[in-house]
Chains A and B, each alone.
Chain A
Amino acid sequence: MTKIEVLGSGCSNCIRLEKNAREAVAALGVDAEIVKVTDYAEIMAYGVMSTPGLVIDGRVVSVGRVPSAGDITGWLSE
């Protein structure tokens, strides 16, 4: 199962990013778990300073921007 982590304190951008991630997962029909990471120590452990960040299976794919559902679909099918 794919693990998708949305890094951020819960600002509007993090919410948009989470929504896009859900869309991407639904579009591909993959088995994925979406987790919100709000703890700063954990966020920093990924080396992410500008939120929101997106982590797929432990790999940081995006920081400081809200990628579209299409972008996320691309990363998920890599």
Chain B
Amino acid sequence: MTSIALRRARLPFRAGVTLAATAWLVAWLAEAPLSDWLTFSVLGLERGSHLGEAVAFFLLDVPKVLLLLVGIITVVTLIRGFFPPERVRAALAGRGTLTGSVAAAAFGIVTPFCSCSAVPLFIGFVEAGIPLGVTFAFLISSPMVNEVALVLLWGLFGPGIALVYMAAGLTVAIVGGLVIGRLGMERYVEDYVWALQGKAGAVVEIRLGWDDRIRDAWAYTKELVRRIAPYLLVGIGIGALIHGYAPTELVAAIGGRSNPLAVPIVVLIALPLYSNAAGTIPIVQALLGKGMPLGTTLAFMMAITAISLPEFIILRRVIRWPLIATFATVVTIGVLFIGYLFNALIP
């Protein structure tokens, strides 16, 4: 290791971390009054007008969401560094399908997962003899119930909705994993994956110091925010348009309680859409504001984040289409069920 360089950098590094944390806190406190002042005093827009409300929503949400992302993702990534996939795999190996699926879904929340690592992860799980259903519980949970979704939901709506979303996502992942496990679809896994069983090298574990961990977390956060920023801006833009312009009656007519088909309709709308949680939540925020019931809104968000064509194309390298189709169908049914359940439970 480059111990000399690290020692030299230690003092300014610590000071930098403190400074960054303070700057974040100041920005967080000053953000709401600033955006209000900007919209209604500097731009001179009228309070309560369509344009004024849309612009205020946009200017309030963009910095707020960015601050939340940057601040909390850095902290969460730091914690997550202690749960690498290698360790998860070791914990899951040799467990039964039920306990395995529950544990895999829970691990899905904390382990880093991006679609580009889906393939080595899948092979790694199969290689260790983890049942297919357990592997899928992880694959369903990981993109849907992730730190970005939870942090944003918590920050924008409070802990209640965040925890409800987490519980719903975990349920879909666990049940989905159990169902796929029961269907016996092992033959749709590409042969070369099975051929690798027992051939992988010993797992390497690399020890890292705190400075390295903080630096890694910060680098990861920058990269993540850069990657999701376009989705976020578009999402907030659409959210702002809905907030300012969409007639409440229209939202109520399509997604409202009086329409018994509201859940399947919004899920159908969401299926071809692909975005990550960050881009979806501002839209969700606006829809909830327009009176869409919670179950319908959750179904909409889950369908967008959990079912994505790009991920399917990547997974095609290890599994064949029948299994991918089953995966999509099981998740869709789960999401529909969650939508109706929460609409029935929460009046």
The 7 closest A-B pairs by CB, nearest first: A11-B116, A47-B201, A74-B2, A49-B124, A60-B204, A44-B200, A47-B203
Query: Contact at A9–B119, with CB atoms within 8 Å?
Result: yes
Q: Is B7 an interface residue (CB 8 A)?
A: no
29 examples of A-B residue contacts, CB within 8 angstroms: A9-B116, A9-B119, A9-B120, A11-B114, A11-B117, A12-B116, A13-B223, A40-B196, A40-B317, A41-B199, A43-B120, A44-B196, A44-B199, A45-B199, A45-B200, A45-B201, A47-B202, A48-B120, A49-B85, A49-B89, A50-B121, A51-B117, A60-B204, A62-B206, A64-B84, A66-B219, A71-B1, A73-B2, A74-B2
B interface residue count range (under 10 / 10 to 19 / 20 to 34 / 35 or more): 20 to 34
CA distance A50 to B121 in the complex (A): 7
Interface residues of A in 45-75 (CB under 8 A from B): 45-51, 60-66, 68, 70-71, 73-74
- Complexed CA–CA distance, A20 and B202 (Å): 26
The docked-state distance in angstroms from the alpha carbon of A76 to that of B95 is 41
- Which residue of the partner chain B has the closest CB to A8? B116
A40 touches B201 (CB 8 A): no
Binding site for B on A (CB under 8 A): 8-9, 11-13, 40-41, 43-51, 60-66, 68, 70-71, 73-74
Knowing A49-B85, A63-B206 touch, does A44 contact B120 (C-beta < 8 A)? yes
Nearest chain A CB to B45 CB, angstrom units: 39
B216 at the interface (CB under 8 A from A): yes
How far apart are the CA atoms of A9 and B124 in the complex, in Å? 15
Say whether chain B's binding surface is mostly helix, strand, loop, or mixed.
helix
On B, residues with C-beta under 8 Å from A are 1-2, 5, 84-86, 89, 112, 114, 116-117, 119-121, 123-124, 127, 192, 196, 199-204, 206, 212, 215-216, 219, 223, 227, 317
Q: Inside 8 A of B1's CB, which chain A residues have their CB?
A: 71, 74
How far is it, in angstroms, between the C-alpha of A73 and the C-alpha of B4 when the chains are bound?
12
Q: Which residues of A contact B219 (CB under 8 A)?
A: 66
Question: A11-B114, A50-B120, A66-B219 given. 4 additional CB < 8 A pairs?
Answer: A9-B119, A45-B199, A50-B121, A64-B112
Q: How far is the CA of A11 from the CA of B227 in the complex (A)?
A: 12
Nearest opposing residue in chain B for A62, CB measure:
B206
B78 smallest CB distance to A (angstroms): 12
List, in ascending order, chain A residues with CB within 8 A of B206's CB: 60-63
